[in-house]
């Protein structure tokens, strides 16, 4: 049994906010209160970047109703950052850990955040400072390779699925005017969010009709041919595309910001604009009117469409991180381990931070159809349990035409 380590927790949130990242934070705070070894929980204001400025919030001072309310509050209550540690930062971090007797470190975030946790853990070990580091996963992109899925994904998947249902209803109704509608979903290199658009589709003719993800680059002739075939059959077409969609001929994203201002400290370019580009090509080459919707950052943290499964699991995984650290574990990220699909059951595991950091999980090939323009049922079986129950049931009028009218 590990020796009890008495001290404080430092916890931070990093990367893009989500609908459930605060639920993970609540899990950390609530679980910490159960352990006498933990004397306090300090929230890093705007992640590791704020910690370097010594900006800390006393989370034990928060009333119980605020901690409970975090579970239904979107975005990042502590504030977030995208900051890559510099060589000169490590000594400052270690000094602050000592100053505030921080013995437990939990960073809630995605690939880059787990890399930060890994680097801090290694630094503490090299300096002989006893620190237990357990990462808490978070990313709507669902691209952490060492876990079945990520907190935040189930909610954005539900958002995209419902938004596509409703956009499809709008386009079907006004298809004589707006013939093609494209929804642009988030995702730099992986199509997990975009693929979720299929989850509300019941019949072959229901929107969405086409879905394109970065794992399958498009050719312009292939894409335009797909659109033309759907339009010829139905008179309208609903498409969902990933902002990181790539061109098969160049191997590059169809659109990405070229401005240095739009590149973060990890070198990630801001994506976006692919739907506008596709609409222009459809209009120019097919002579069909096309418009697009782009929900933008609201899709990643909408509480109105948050998944109940996602909310519960996010809190669970935050609490588990504290339990693992108190038990003596360090240098790990908590992961989800799926036990069953029907009924859905999921437990937790541990993966080395070095395995979680920076490794990127993309859609498996059998989750995308051979034509590269739609997810398969294998993907639906994976994603459906994560979105928190049935989607809205929308009805269609039966087309019973009045005798003698224009339709017979």
The rounded distance, in Å, linking the Cα atoms of 142 and 357 is 14
What count of other Cβ atoms lies within 10 Å of the Cβ of residue 288?
17
Dihedral of CA 227/229/235/237: which sign?
negative
Angstrom distance (rounded) from CA 140 to CA 194: 11
Are 160 and 208 spatial neighbours (Cβ–Cβ below 8 Å)?
no
Rounded to whole angstroms, the Cα distance separating 403 from 408 reads 7
Rounded-to-integer distance, Cα 207 and Cα 162, Å: 11
Task: Say whether the peptide bond before residue 313 is cis (omega within 30 degrees of 0).
Answer: no
What CA–CA distance (Å, rounded) separates 116 from 140?
19
Instruction: Tell me if residue 205 is catalytic.
Output: no
What is the secondary structure of 79-119 as a DSSP string?
-----PPPTTHHHHHHHHHHHTTEEEEEEEESHHHHHHHHH
The token pair at 347 is 């437990």
Say how far apart CA 11 and CA 25 lie, in whole Å. 8
- Among the listed residues 89, 141, 143, 310, the single catalytic one is 141
Cα 76 to Cα 326: distance, rounded to the nearest angstrom: 25
Please tell me whether residue 173 adopts helix, strand or coil conformation: helix
Taking each helix axis from N to C end, the angle separating 89-99 and 111-126, rounded to the nearest 10 degrees, works out to 70
Please tell me the distance from the alpha carbon of residue 320 to that of residue 325, in angstroms, as a whole number.
9
Contacts with 168 (C-beta within 8 Å, 6 or more apart), sequence order: 181, 206, 207, 208, 238
Q: What is the C-alpha separation between 220 and 8, in angstroms, rounded?
A: 56
Of 213, 228, 244, 222, residue with least CA distance to 374: 213
Active site residues: 141
């Amino acid at each position: 049994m590990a020796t009890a380590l008495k001290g404080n927790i430092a916890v931070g949130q990093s990367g893009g906010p989500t609908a459930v990242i605060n639920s993970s934070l609540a899990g950390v705070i609530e679980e910490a209160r159960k352990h006498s070894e933990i004397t306090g929980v300090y929230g890093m204001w705007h992640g590791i970047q704020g910690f370097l400025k010594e900006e800390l919030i006393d989370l034990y001072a928060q009333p119980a109703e605020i901690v409970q309310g975090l579970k239904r509050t979107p975005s990042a209550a502590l504030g977030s950052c995208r900051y890559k540690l510099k060589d000169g930062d490590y000594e400052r971090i270690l000094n602050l850990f000592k100053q505030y007797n921080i013995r437990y470190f939990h960073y809630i975030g995605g690939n880059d955040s787990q890399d930060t946790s890994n680097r801090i853990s290694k630094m503490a070990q090299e300096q002989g400072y006893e620190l237990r580091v357990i990462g808490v996963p978070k990313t709507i992109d669902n691209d952490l390779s060492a876990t079945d899925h990520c907190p935040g994904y189930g909610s954005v998947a539900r958002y995209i699925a419902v938004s596509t249902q409703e956009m499809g209803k709008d386009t079907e109704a006004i298809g004589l005017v707006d013939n093609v509608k494209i929804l642009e979903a988030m995702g730099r290199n992986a199509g997990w969010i975009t693929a979720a658009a299929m989850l509300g589709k019941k019949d072959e003719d229901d929107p969405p009709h086409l879905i394109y993800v970065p794992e399958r680059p498009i050719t312009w002739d292939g894409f335009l041919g797909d659109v033309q075939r759907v339009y010829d059959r139905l008179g309208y077409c609903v498409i969902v595309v990933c902002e990181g969609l790539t061109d098969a001929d160049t191997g590059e994203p169809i659109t990405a910001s070229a401005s240095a201002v739009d590149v973060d400290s990890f070198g990630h370019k801001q994506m976006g604009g692919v739907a506008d580009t596709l609409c222009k090509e459809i209009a120019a080459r097919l002579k069909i009117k096309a418009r697009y919707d782009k929900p933008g950052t609201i899709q990643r943290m909408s509480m109105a469409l948050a998944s109940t499964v996602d909310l519960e699991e996010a809190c669970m995984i935050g609490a588990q991180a504290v339990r693992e650290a108190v038990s003596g574990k360090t240098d790990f990220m908590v992961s989800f381990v799926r036990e069953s699909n029907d009924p859905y059951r999921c437990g937790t595991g541990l993966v080395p931070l070095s395995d979680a950091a920076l490794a990127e999980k993309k859609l498996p090939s059998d989750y995308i159809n051979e034509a590269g323009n739609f997810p398969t049922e294998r993907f639906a079986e994976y994603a459906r349990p994560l979105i928190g129950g049935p989607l809205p049931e929308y009805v269609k009028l039966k087309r019973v035409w009045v005798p003698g009218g224009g339709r017979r």
